[in-house]
Amino acid sequence: MAVLALASCGKKEQDLKPITAVSFSDVRINDDFWSQRLSVHLGETIPLCIDQIENQTGRIRNFENAAKGEGEHSGIFFDDSDVYKALEGMAYSYQISKDPFIMAKCDEWIDKFAAAQQPDGYLNTYYILTGLDKRWTDIDKHEMYCAGHMIEAAVAYYKASGKRKLLDVSEKMVAHMMSVFGPDKRHWVPGHEEIELALVKLFEVTGKKEYLDFAAWLLDQRGHGYGAYVGRDEKYWKEHYQDEFPVRELSRISGHAVRAMYLYCGMADVAAYTGDTQLIDALNRLWDHVVMRNMYITGGIGQSARNEGITQDYDLPNKEAYCETCASVGMVFWNQRMFQFTGDGKYADVVERSLYNGTLAGVSLSGRLFFYVNPLESDGNHHRQRWYGCACCPSQICRFIPSIGSYIYSTSKEGLWVNQYIGNSAKIEVKGQDVKLKLESQMPVDGHVMLTLGLGKSLKTDVRLRIPAWCKDYTIAINGQIVSVPEDKGYAVLYRKWSDGDQVEMILDMPVELVAADPRVKQNVGKRAIQRGALVYCLEEVDNPVDFDNLSITENADFSLERLNLKEGFGYPLQRITATTPTQTLRFVPYLAWDNRAPGKMKVWIPLSE
């Protein structure tokens, strides 16, 4: 495929992004857990999303009607975004599978998008069908949000196929927006962030610096009174949209959780290219506030259904927890970006926690049912659905799962970073030299990892292996010889001259742990949760049918592991934990796997008894 040249955006004040993630397109996942996830995604999730968009809802029909200039708009005003996110996931899946049906479907949809685009470049089916005279009058109508998801889909499609059609449509829409908004034009505060990070992706693939500049301008619109809140509770909505303060002054997460995640991603992306250290300072303050005071043990965020977001520090209700699937995915996106600034393992730890718990719980093991909300306790009436009227979470899962390979490796001037232990083979460039990697792992159920390096010639470099925060003890051997190595920010640093066939074996201790919450979390006082490795566990009534509401755990419980056998032929390597106390036996399953069998009650936090 043709590659567009990146234009220089000038010398940075400092190199704020010294670490680069290796794209999933350079990685072939081959372990038991994630290989099956990807297979189910391709065979079940993508066809389901296509069927919902084409046959069960009016989402694709909105584009067809917009192209004709007649007919009603069905659904919610931001439904275009679901189509774009699904297409992004299809493009990613095509890069892995090369399935011609997927590419043909992408082409078919993109033809409909292009046909619906207006002569001035505007594309949003809601306003095309309900009145173009009302466009750009309400910051809450998600026009730039939908455009951002179209851009992300366009970049993914271009990278997968080399075809520019959707990229051209996106550039025309951006040209229209820039003709209306910008310095010496209209002010605008997008009610739902997304456009900012998307514009940076468009800059990266086209080299056109005006897109980066527009993203930076949009960030700087926030917190200066430019948002329109006539007839609304101004304080509530400013907080909801992250419009209370200028972005460089932010220190606390507030408002809508997904909006906040996308804003922080946009801030990180702009800072990486502009050298804006004030944005990074703000992100560091925000990270502390999010993770230390407002994150659930599952890596989810957003305590309240009222605002789909944040309430107050250390308020972490279990049954009422919102923890939108999109917000957990947003935590993965944001923490991956934060890692690339510093190489600090604490960010990769959050990626892992949010990935395996808050995110994966959002889709059934069958790939056919979805959670929008992910509580940590249920009375038995909370279940996944095939689709939602607001279907941001199913389409989010559609685009996220096939990109999972992007979170495994990174490179820098120091060398190679191994961030997530997902079995794979890869060919990447380290210090200007091609390196073949084979990583054998059975995470998340086993802590034994083997990394084999294939080299055409010897290479002196770092190989940095993340030591997860949950691991208190580990051993590392090089070619069978146990070695002692230094640690740096949560990574074991192996520096040497590597030769072809060298092997690094790592054994991460993965005991079952009883976890206590911060004592300021009043909802979990006197309770404990079960965690093993990256996985948070929960009690389900189907495994504990007797007196479920009165079950408790003791500090000295005996734990044992067994294979978790699930219905419908799921072959995922998951384990059930049995906790034996003097008075009772409790059976825990991974939180990501709950609500895949008989309906019933569930809880993560269990009362502690003497």
Helix (H) or strand (E) run with residue 537 in it? strand 535-540
Architecture field, domain 419-443+447-508:
Sandwich (2.60)
Q: What is the pLDDT of residues 13-52, one digit of tens each?
A: 456 789 999 999 999 999 999 999 999 999 999 999 999 9
Residues in the chain: 610
Helix (H) or strand (E) run with residue 476 in it? strand 474-478
> Could you identify the residue written with the tokens 């995922």?
572
* pLDDT average, residue stretch 54-82: 97
Does 444 sit behind a cis peptide bond, omega within 30 degrees of 0 on the bond before it? yes
* pLDDT average, residue stretch 117-135: 98
Q: What is the pLDDT of residues 149-162, one digit of tens each?
A: 999 999 999 999 99
Distance (Å, rounded) from C-alpha 503 to C-alpha 25?
24
Catalytic residue among 146, 323, 392, 471: 392
pLDDT at 16: 77
Q: What is the pLDDT of residues 565-586, one digit of tens each?
A: 776 446 788 999 999 998 899 9
Tell me if residue 392 is catalytic.
yes
Q: Collapsing DSSP states into helix, strand and coil, what is residue 246?
A: coil
Distance (Å, rounded) from C-alpha 180 to C-alpha 217?
13
Strands 415-418 and 459-466, bridge-based pairing = parallel
pLDDT at 257: 98
Distance (Å, rounded) from C-alpha 357 to C-alpha 591?
6
Q: What is the pLDDT of residues 378-428, one digit of tens each?
A: 999 999 999 999 999 999 999 999 999 999 999 999 999 999 999 999 999
**Which token pair is 476?**
């590392």
Catalytic residue among 88, 239, 308, 540: 308
Tell me if residue 308 is catalytic.
yes
| pLDDT band, very low/low/confident/very high, at 8 (cuts 50, 70, 90) | very low
Check whether 525 has a pLDDT greater than 70.
yes
> Could you identify the residue written with the tokens 């297979």?
39
- Return mean pLDDT, the chain: 95
Among the listed residues 140, 146, 194, 193, the one whose alpha carbon sits nearest the alpha carbon of residue 169: 146
The residues pairing with 463 across neighbouring beta strands, listed in sequence order, are 416, 494
pLDDT at 10: 35
Using CB atoms within 10 A of its CB, is residue 337 exposed (0-12), middle (13-18) or buried (19+)?
Answer: buried
Among the listed residues 409, 510, 501, 509, the one whose alpha carbon sits nearest the alpha carbon of residue 455: 501
pLDDT at 570: 62
Domain edges within the chain? 419-443+447-508, 512-607
Q: What is the pLDDT of residues 343-392, one digit of tens each?
A: 999 999 999 999 999 999 999 999 999 999 999 999 999 999 999 999 99
Q: What is the pLDDT of residues 470-524, one digit of tens each?
A: 999 999 999 999 999 999 999 999 999 999 999 999 999 999 999 999 999 999 9
pTM over 0.75: yes
DSSP 109-160: HHHHHHHH--TTS---HHHHHH-GGGTTS-GGG-HHHHHHHHHHHHHHHHHH
In Å, the largest CA–CA distance within the chain is: 74
| pLDDT band, very low/low/confident/very high, at 3 (cuts 50, 70, 90) | very low
* pLDDT average, residue stretch 575-600: 95
Check whether 4 has a pLDDT greater than 70.
no
Using CA atoms in the order 60, 65, 69, 75, what is the torsion angle rounded to 10 degrees?
-80
Amino acid at 268: A
The DSSP code for 229 is: -
Put residue 547 in one of left, alpha, beta given phi > 0 → left and psi -120 to 50 → alpha. left
Q: What is the pLDDT of residues 442-460, one digit of tens each?
A: 999 999 999 999 999 999 9
